[in-house]
Structure 1
Amino acid sequence: MLGGGRTTACVTGGNGYIASALVKMLLENGYAVKTTVRNPDDVEKNSHLKELQALGSLEVLRADLDEEGSFDDAVAGCRYAFLIAAPVNLHAKDPEKELIEPAVRGTLNVMRSCVKAKTVTRVILTSSAAAVSSRPLQDGDHVLDEESWSDVEWLKSKKLGPWAYPVSKVLLEKEASKFAAEHGISLVTVCPVVTVGAAPARKIHTSVPASLSLLSGDEAAFGVLKGIEMATGGVPMVHVADLCRAEMFVAEAAAAAGRYICCSVNTTVSEIARVLGDKYPQYDVKTNMLSGELLQKPRVCLSSAKLIGEGFVYKYKTLDEIYGDVVEYGKALAILPN
Structure 2
Amino acid sequence: MLQAYPASKVLAEKAAMAFAEENGISLVTLCPVVVVGGAPATKVKTSVPELLSLISGDDDMVDKLQLIEAASGSIPLVHIDDVCRAEIFVAEKEEPAGRYIVCRLNTTAIELSHFLSVKYPQYEPNVDHIGALPAKPRVSIWSDKLVKAGFEYKYNNLDQVYDDIVPYGRTLGILPF
TM over 0.5: yes
1:311 aligns with 2:150: yes
Structure number with bigger Rg: 1
TM-score, length-scaled by structure 1? 0.51
> Which protein has greater RCO, CA pairs closer than 8 Å, 6+ apart?
2
Q: Distance in 1 between matches of 2:134 and 2:147?
A: 27
1:269 aligns with 2:109: yes
Q: Distance in 1 between matches of 2:37 and 2:11?
A: 28
State the 1:232 CA deviation.
1.4
What is the CA deviation profile of residues 45-71 of structure 1, one whole-angstrom value per residue up to 9, with x for unaligned ones?
xxxxxxxxxxxxxxxxxxxxxxxxxxx
Instruction: List alignment gaps of at least 5 residues for structure 1.
Output: 1-160
Q: Distance in 1 between matches of 2:93 and 2:18?
A: 22
Equivalent in the alignment of 1:95:
none
Query: Which has more helix, going by share of residues?
Result: 2
Percent of matched pairs sharing the same residue: 55
Equivalent in the alignment of 2:23:
183
Equivalent in the alignment of 2:88:
248
Contact map agreement 1:192 1:243 (CA 8 A) in 2: yes
Equivalent in the alignment of 2:44:
204
- Equivalent pairs counted in the alignment come to 177
Equivalent in the alignment of 2:55:
215
Q: What root-mean-square deviation, in Å, do the aligned CA atoms of Structure 1 and Structure 2 show?
A: 1.2
Contact map agreement 2:54 2:125 (CA 8 A) in 1: yes
Q: Distance in 1 between matches of 2:94 and 2:101?
A: 18
Contact map agreement 2:33 2:78 (CA 8 A) in 1: yes
State the 1:226 CA deviation.
0.3
Equivalent in the alignment of 2:119:
279
Q: Distance in 2 between matches of 1:167 and 1:261?
A: 16
TM-score, length-scaled by structure 2? 0.95
Contact map agreement 2:35 2:46 (CA 8 A) in 1: no
1:325 aligns with 2:160: no
Contact map agreement 2:113 2:127 (CA 8 A) in 1: yes
User: 153, 164, 167: which one pairs with 2:4?
Assistant: 164
**Equivalent position amino acid for 1:267 in 2:** T
**Equivalent position amino acid for 2:52 in 1:** L
